[in-house]
Amino acid sequence: MTLTPAFFARDPLGVAHDLIGAEILVDGVGGTIAETEAYRTDDPASHSFRGPTLRNRAMFGEPGHAYVYLSYGMHWCLNFVCLPGSAVLIRALVPEHGLERMVERRGLEDRRRLCAGPGRLAQALGLDKSHDGLSLFAPPFELKEAGTVPMVAAGPRIGITKAADWPWRFGLKDSPYLSKPFPRP
C-alpha cells in the first residue's frame, strides 16, 4: 500500500487498518504505528458528528493532514485526516527513533510506556496545537511504509461513551507497545 495523499482519501476504517506497521516520524522522532482508531463522520463518538467547528476544522480539510486537539484539558492527541469529517486517531507507536528525546519529554525510561496511548505518544513526539492542520507529507512529518505485512488485531475503541462497542480499533497483534491489550475473541 503506497503512502500518498490518495491513501488517506478513503474510509477511515480501511486507513486505520492499513496504517498498522507503517512508520511516523516528527522531526526524526517516532516509530512504527502499533495502534489506531477510526472516527467517521456518521459516528456519534467523532468530533465531526455535529458538523464543522473551530476545533475540528482540520477534520473537514485535506486528507493526509494532521488533526491535533487537546484532550481533557491536558493531553494532545494526533489524528490523520481521511475523507472530510473522518480521521484516524494514532494511539500507540513502537518507539524506534529519537529514544533519547522521547525519554526527555516524557520524563521516564520505560520503553513500553513511552508511546503507549494517544496522549503519551503526542508528548513523546513533541506535538501540540502548532501541528494542527499540517500536511503529513512535509516536514516536520515523515511517513514510511510498512516493511512487511503485519498481523492486525481489531476490537472496540477505548475511552468513549458513545458507540463504544463498534470494533474500530486496530493494532499490531500481541504487541507489548499497545495502550491496552485487545480483548480475546
Site residues, DNA (CB under 7 A): 37, 39, 45-48, 50, 53-56, 59, 67, 70-75, 77, 79, 87, 89, 106, 108, 113, 117-121, 157-162, 179
Whether 174 contacts 19, CB under 8 Å: no
2 or 72: CB nearest DNA? 72
Least separation, in Å, of the C-beta of 135 and DNA?
18
**57, 46 in Cβ contact below 8 A?**
no
Which one, 109 or 145, has the nearer CB to DNA?
109
Cell of 71: 484532550
Residue 6's identity, in one-letter code, is A
Shortest reach from residue 46's CB to DNA, in Å: 5
* Distance of closest approach, residue 84 Cβ to DNA, in angstroms: 13
Helix (H/G/I), strand (E/B), else coil: 122: helix
For residue 36, what is its C-alpha cell?
A: 489506531
Q: Which position has the grid cell 496504517?
A: 19
Least CB distance to DNA at residue 57 (A): 9
